C-alpha cells in the first residue's frame, strides 16, 4: 500500500499562540512538513486581524489564547454567517486534556484538539486526520461546525493500538500520551456516547 502524504505547500497556515518561542518552533515543524506560508498571531485580536487580511486555510490555535481564548474564538468564527473562514479547519492546542475541556473544544466547532507539548508525529497525524477524514458540517440554531458524530475511522496513520501502546518518550515515538485521551473523546460519539 502506498504511504499517504499531506501536501501543505500552497496552504496558508495561521499559528496562534502567546509564546513566541512556540510559534517559531511550530513554524519550523510545519516547514519540515513542507508548508510554505505561515502567519503568526499572539492573541485573539491578531487572529481576527489576520483573518480579515489574508485567506487562511487552516488555523492552529492555543486554547488559552490571550483575549477571549481559543475556544470562544473558534465559536465566534463558526457563528459569523458572513465569515469566509467559517468552515476553515481549526485545530485547538491545549495543555489540559481533561475530557470536559476536549468536549468543550469539540462543541465550539474545532476539527481536532491537539495535546501540548506538541511532537512532530502528533501534529502531522492530526493534520492528516483532518485532511483525509473530512466531516460534514452542521448548521443549527445552537451549533455551526463539523459534525460531532463523526465516523470512527480508527487512529491516524502511524499510530498503533492506543491502549496497548507503551508510553515512551515523545521524542522517541513522536506522540504525546495525552493525545490518546483526546482522540477517545472525538471518537466516542461514533459509538453513540457523548
Partner 1 sequence: MADKSFPEARVFSPNTRFHALARRPGGVSRSQAIAGAQARIDEMQPEFGGWLNAEINALVEVVKCLKSGASEPAWIDRALFHSNQLRDVGTTMGFELVSYVANTLSMILDRIKAGADFNLASITCHMDALALVRQESYRHLRPDQVPELLNGLHQIAESVSIVPASGQK
* Interacting residues with partner 1 (CB under 8 A): 3-11, 17-19, 21-22, 24-25, 28-34, 55, 57-58, 63-64, 69-71, 87-89, 94-96, 98, 100-101, 104, 116-121, 123-125, 127-128, 130-132, 134, 136-141, 147, 157-158, 169-171, 174, 176
User: Between residues 81 and 161, which has the closer beta carbon with respect to partner 1?
Assistant: 81
C-alpha pair distances (Å), 176 with each of 106, 119, 122, 181, 194: 19, 7, 7, 10, 23
Q: What is the CA radius of gyration of the chain?
A: 16
Assess contact for 173 and 184: CB atoms under 8 A.
no
Write b or e for each residue in 77-105: b if 16 or more Cβ atoms lie within 10 A of its Cβ, otherwise e.
bbeeeebebbbbbbbbbbeebeeebbbbb
Hey, what's the cell of 140?
443549527
Q: Closest distance between partner 1 and the C-beta of residue 153, in Å?
A: 15
Q: Assess whether the previous peptide bond of 41 is cis (omega < 30° from 0).
A: no
Residue whose CB is less far from partner 1, 63 or 185: 63
Least separation in angstroms between residue 142's CB and partner 1 is 10
Cβ proximity to partner 1, 51 vs 116, nearer residue: 116
Residue 50 beta carbon to partner 1: minimum distance, rounded to whole angstroms: 16
Q: How far is the CB of 79 from partner 1 (least distance, A)?
A: 14
Amino acid at each position: 500500500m502506498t504511504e499517504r502524504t499531506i501536501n501543505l505547500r500552497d496552504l496558508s497556515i495561521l499559528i496562534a499562540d502567546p509564546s513566541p518561542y512556540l510559534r517559531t518552533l511550530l513554524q519550523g515543524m510545519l516547514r519540515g512538513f513542507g508548508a510554505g506560508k505561515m502567519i503568526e498571531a499572539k492573541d485573539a485580536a491578531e487572529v481576527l486581524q489576520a483573518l480579515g487580511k489574508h485567506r487562511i486555510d487552516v488555523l492552529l490555535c492555543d486554547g488559552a489564547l490571550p483575549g477571549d481564548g481559543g475556544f470562544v474564538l473558534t465559536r465566534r468564527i463558526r457563528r459569523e454567517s458572513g465569515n469566509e473562514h467559517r468552515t476553515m479547519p481549526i485545530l485547538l492546542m491545549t495543555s489540559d486534556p481533561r475530557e470536559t475541556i476536549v468536549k468543550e473544544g469539540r462543541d465550539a466547532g474545532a476539527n481536532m484538539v491537539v495535546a501540548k507539548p506538541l511532537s512532530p508525529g502528533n501534529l502531522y497525524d492530526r493534520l492528516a486526520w483532518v485532511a483525509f477524514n473530512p466531516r460534514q458540517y452542521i448548521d443549527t440554531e445552537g451549533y455551526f461546525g463539523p459534525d460531532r458524530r463523526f465516523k470512527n475511522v480508527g487512529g491516524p496513520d502511524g499510530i498503533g493500538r492506543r491502549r496497548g501502546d507503551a508510553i515512551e518518550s515523545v521524542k522517541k515515538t513522536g506522540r504525546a500520551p495525552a493525545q490518546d485521551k483526546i482522540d477517545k473523546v472525538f471518537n466516542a460519539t461514533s459509538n453513540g456516547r457523548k
